[in-house]
Amino acid sequence: METKKNIKDYNLDELKEELKQIGEKPFRAEQIFKWLYSEKVKSFDDMTNLSLDLREKLKNEYTMCNYKIIKKQESSDGTKKYLFDVLDGNAIETVLMQYHHGKTICVSSQIGCKMGCKFCASTGIRFIRNLSPGEIVEQVLAVEQDINDKISNIVFMGIGEPFDNYENVIKSIKIVNNPKGLNIGARHISVSTSGLVPRIYDLANENIQCTLSISLHATNNKKRSEMMPINNRYNIEELMKACKEYIKITNKRISFEYALAKDNNDNLEDAKELVNLLKGMLCHVNLIPINKIENGKFTKSSNENIIKFRDYLNEHGIVATIRRELGSDIDAACGQLRRSNISHGRK
């Protein structure tokens, strides 16, 4: 087991502090940051403008956390699913999606998830631990290296609940967002939450321009609690209050995710309730045709119902779009990242 510190866990200011501790000037941190995120080197030996002595010091203190690909699958639509070795015997999944407007990476924030949403394949996965900031950032670097191209967008919609690992997620955003680093604009980063209400207030006050997505999926507490146990902790009223406050503070649009399950939350009554809930809010609704998971009770709505649902929302003043399903043939679509892969490891 690696005991060295991960050099990618630090944002630029923290790296300056780290270097100060070992008697180095802050500009060295900028040089290292550039090597890591602009030049994307894989070893301290490649940081050729640092003295040999400093390179040795760095090697003794830090690891670079370079992921190895355990498995890679490619869908007919170009979506790629990676299983990475995170170097402690565990593995994580990351998905790359290709859109006209660029390449989007769906990153995991935890190994496993505690939320227990009934329709999500992560639910059967035992929660093991949070990913560190560097372990989140490394997913971007490793995919960029594999495709030899730049990632333009990041969504925190892989395995895990980003707000259950809030500090590390925020730090990872600051690292990828830094113009001296990967320089991925915060507007190109989305964080999705099942609804950990206190963290919505926290994010509102972070002054980070990323997009907030809320996994809503139902419009009343009975239905939402059946789908998402987190609703028993923070109900819809508390969630909507936090969302309204978030919009007030940030003046930013919220994206509400709504996975349509047949005969559960997909009829026009539900659409009507959704309109009432979101009326007047600065928001957008992302309709996801639900992906049935093994032994799951929720099945996909018919295309006809999905379109009717979308049209109802649009006709009643709520902007709604249907999310394209990418990567379903390799189990890389929403909620399909699976236990069999995640527990892959040497432990």
Binding site for ligand SAH (CB under 6 A): 115, 117, 119-120, 157, 161, 192-194, 215, 257, 259, 288, 290-291, 293, 334-335
Residue 68 or 253: which CB sits closer to ligand SAH? 253
Closest approach of ligand SAH to the CB of residue 293, in Å: 5
3-class SS at 61?
A: helix
CA distances from 345 to 45, 137, 340 (A): 29, 21, 10
Give yes or no for a contact between 176 and 141, defined as CB atoms under 8 angstroms apart: no
The least CB distance from residue 7 to ligand SAH, in Å, is 27
Active site residue 210: no
- What is the rounded CA–CA span in Å between residue 88 and residue 72? 19
**Count of Cβ atoms closer than 10 Å to residue 90 Cβ:** 20
**DSSP states of 224-288:** HHHH-GGGGTS-HHHHHHHHHHHHHHH---EEEEEEEBTTTS-SHHHHHHHHHHHTT-SEEEEEE
Which residue, 181 or 195, has its beta carbon nearer to ligand SAH? 195
Name the pairing type of β-strands 91-99 and 102-106: antiparallel
Choice between 174 and 217, CB closer to ligand SAH: 217
* 334 tagged catalytic: yes
Catalytic residue among 93, 135, 138, 144: 93
Minimum CB distance to ligand SAH, residue 12 (Å): 27
Report the nearest approach of ligand SAH to the CB of residue 226 (Å).
Answer: 14
Identify which of residues 112 and 181 has a Cβ nearer to ligand SAH in the complex.
Answer: 112
- In the complex with ligand SAH, which residue's Cβ is closer, 182 or 290? 290
> For ligand SAH, which is the closer residue by CB, 63 or 264?
264
Give the nearest distance from C-beta 259 to ligand SAH in angstroms.
Answer: 4
Q: Which of 312, 213, 208 shows the shortest CA–CA distance to 268?
A: 312
User: CB neighbours of 191 closer than 8 A, spacing ≥ 6?
Assistant: 156, 162, 163, 169, 173, 203, 210, 211, 212, 213
Q: Let me know: does 87 contact 62? Beta carbons within 8 Å.
A: no
Take residue 230 and report the two structure tokens written for it: 């987190």
Q: Which single residue brings its beta carbon nearest to ligand SAH?
A: 335
CB 2 within 8 A of CB 8: no
Least separation in angstroms between CB 296 and ligand SAH: 7
Residue position matching structure tokens 């987190």: 230
Residues with active-site annotation: 93, 334
